A and B are shown apart, each in its own frame.
Chain A
Amino acid sequence: DGGITQSPKYLFRKEGQNVTLSCEQNLNHDAMYWYRQDPGQGLRLIYYSQIVNDFQKGDIAEGYSVSREKKESFPLTVTSAQKNPTAFYLCASSMAGEKLFFGSGTQLSVL
């Protein structure tokens, strides 16, 4: 089955620690995205990538980093500079101009 896989489903971060959220897709989509979702708010774009080895900042990129070394993979690192990381993180992918397909999300919490 084609789709987007996010792992882990739940993740805990200690103070000062970097953590990486995984996102893999086998849909052969060119574009991939990371969104952050907070309770009572819509999704906010963190980073997006249209092609391999290229990515752009979204609205709330500070404290996050990404890489796009392979078409199928777009990992998100939440760095220690992100002071309020607790949120639900959603990865998505699409072909250009087409709808977004979403993963099932990762809930990140701070210990």
Chain B
Amino acid sequence: AQSVTQPDIHITVSEGASLELRCNYSYGATPYLFWYVQSPGQGLQLLLKYFSGDTLVQGIKGFEAEFKRSQSSFNLRKPSVHWSDAAEYFCAVAPNNNNDMRFGAGTRLTVKP
């Protein structure tokens, strides 16, 4: 069965600093990979997704993620964090039909002024 691990429950970074959120997955084949962001009390918004092709994926709000097959990872990065990026971030993995999409436990990002 597929699964997703986000090793960091909570990360604090200073505004303007770089950010990397880790995601590791377990799946027999190359799955579809997603990063979502959630503000408190809200639904999830898709940041980016990887289906195939270029392993470096660009998303919205200046985020990018890199798929590394050898490490079964799909880490999310941003070169310079803004205070508005403070939120909960979820990595998700799915086969090609979304029916069995699995989410990680999430990483809460706090941004210090």
* Chain A residues packing against B (C-beta within 8 Å): 4, 6, 31, 33, 35, 40-45, 48, 50, 56, 88, 90, 92, 94, 96-100, 102-105, 107
Contacts and interface: CB of A to CB of B under 8 A. Distances in A.
Given A100-B46, A105-B43, A48 B99 contact: yes
Nearest to A99: B46
B18 to A, nearest CB: 25
B106 A45 contact: no
A98 B98 contact: yes
Given A42-B4, A43-B90, A100-B46, A50 B99 contact: yes
Interface SS of chain A: helix, strand, loop or mixed? Answer: strand
Given A31-B98, A43-B90, A100-B98, A90 B105 contact: no
Interface residues of B, number: 24
Given A97-B96, A99-B34, A43 B45 contact: no
A42 B44 contact: no
29 contacts: A6-B43, A31-B99, A35-B103, A40-B106, A42-B90, A42-B102, A42-B105, A42-B106, A45-B100, A48-B99, A90-B44, A92-B44, A94-B98, A96-B97, A96-B98, A97-B96, A97-B98, A98-B98, A99-B34, A99-B46, A100-B46, A100-B98, A100-B101, A102-B44, A102-B45, A104-B43, A105-B41, A105-B43, A107-B41
Interface of B: 4, 6, 9, 34, 36, 41-46, 49, 90, 96-106
A59 B44 CA distance: 20
- Determine the main DSSP class of B at the interface with A: loop
B98 A42 contact: no
Contacts of B100: 45
